[in-house]
Amino acid sequence: MDPTALFVLASASPRRKDLLAQLGLRFTVAAADIDETPMAGEIASDYVHRLAVEKARTVATRHPDAWVLAADTTVALGSELLGKPRDAAEAREMLARLSGRVHEVFTGIAVAGRARDSQVVRTQVTFRTLSPDEIAWYADTGEPLDKAGAYAIQGKGGFLVQGIDGSPSNVVGLPLGETLALLTRVGMPLPWTEGRR
The active-site residue, picked from 35, 72, 87, 140, is 72
- Specify whether 140 is catalytic: no
Q: Which domains does the chain have, with CATH numbers?
A: 7-186 (3.90.950.10)
Task: Tell me what pLDDT residue 1 has.
Answer: 44
**Residue 144 DSSP code:** G
CB under 8 Å, gap of 24 or more: what pairs does 185-193 form?
185/117, 186/67, 186/111, 186/114, 186/115, 186/116, 186/117, 187/114, 187/115, 188/6, 188/7, 188/67, 188/111, 188/114, 188/115, 189/6, 190/25, 191/23, 191/24, 191/25
Task: Tell me what pLDDT residue 147 has.
Answer: 92
Q: What's the one-letter identity of residue 189?
A: P
Longest dimension (CA), the chain: 57
Please give the angle made by the CA atoms of 145, 146 and 147, to the nearest 5 degrees.
95
User: What pTM did the predictor assign?
Assistant: 0.92
Count CB neighbours of 151 within 10 A. 28
pLDDT tens for each residue of 181-197: 999 999 998 887 765 54
- The per-residue b/e assignment along 79-104, b for 16 or more CB within 10 angstroms, e otherwise, is eebbbbbeebebbbbbbebbbeeebb
Q: What's the one-letter identity of residue 54?
A: E
What is d(CA 107, CA 169) in angstroms, rounded to the nearest whole number? 10
Radius of gyration over alpha carbons of the chain, in Å?
Answer: 17
pLDDT tens for each residue of 98-134: 999 999 999 999 999 999 999 999 999 999 999 999 9
Percentage of the chain beyond pLDDT 70 is 95
Count CB neighbours of 133 within 10 A. 8
Q: pLDDT below 70 — which residues of the chain? A: 1-5, 194-197
